[in-house]
Amino acid sequence: MFASFHIAVLPESVFLLHPAIVVGSWFGMGLVEPLRAGLAVASVVPLAVLLSGRSPLLLVVAALLVGVTGMWAAHAWEALVSLKDDRRIVVDEVAGYLAGMALIGRTGWLAGGCFAAAFLALDHAKPWPFDQIEGFHGGVGVMLDDLAVAVPLAAAVLLIAAAGRRIGRFERRSG
């Protein structure tokens, strides 16, 4: 059975082009049901892969910029909509993905896509202790839970990559 796609409705009192709504929904992608977070992250995979190969420092700057702006947007969104950590806010997933990619460093399309899929799956499942971070108030809580998922996942990717390189060296020597 296929999911039906639709645009989520905001309260009538909320202006769709309010800067907090535009940024919080990552330019409207958070309003596309049921794709919200996946669509938002997919929109920045090309940027993350390009910057990781050309200018990792710019990727760090992009992650920080999206993170700080997202914190403001999420806080303002909650005040506008009167709903804590609204699912339509997806700038947190974008910031988390970019931060994770910045930690991983130089990578290609396959690794960028795999990291995106693993990040979104883990973010959706929100296992302990990540679910505890959602208790923080305002934009900080909205943004931190995704960063808390991205950072250890990026560290795991780095460890797996290092182990793979080490095993590869061992196999070449013994072969």
Residue 6 backbone dihedrals phi, psi, to 5 degrees: -155, 165
For the ranges 58-62, 81-85, 88-92, which has the lowest average pLDDT? 81-85
Q: Where are the domains of the chain?
A: 16-169
Q: What are the beta bridge partners of residue 7?
A: 32
Q: Please give the average per-residue pLDDT across 40-59, as a whole number.
A: 88
Residue 126 backbone dihedrals phi, psi, to 5 degrees: 45, 60
Record the pTM: 0.88
Report how far residue 48's alpha carbon sits from residue 100's, in angstroms, rounded to the nearest whole number. 10
Segment 1-23, tens digit of pLDDT: 567 888 888 878 888 899 999 99
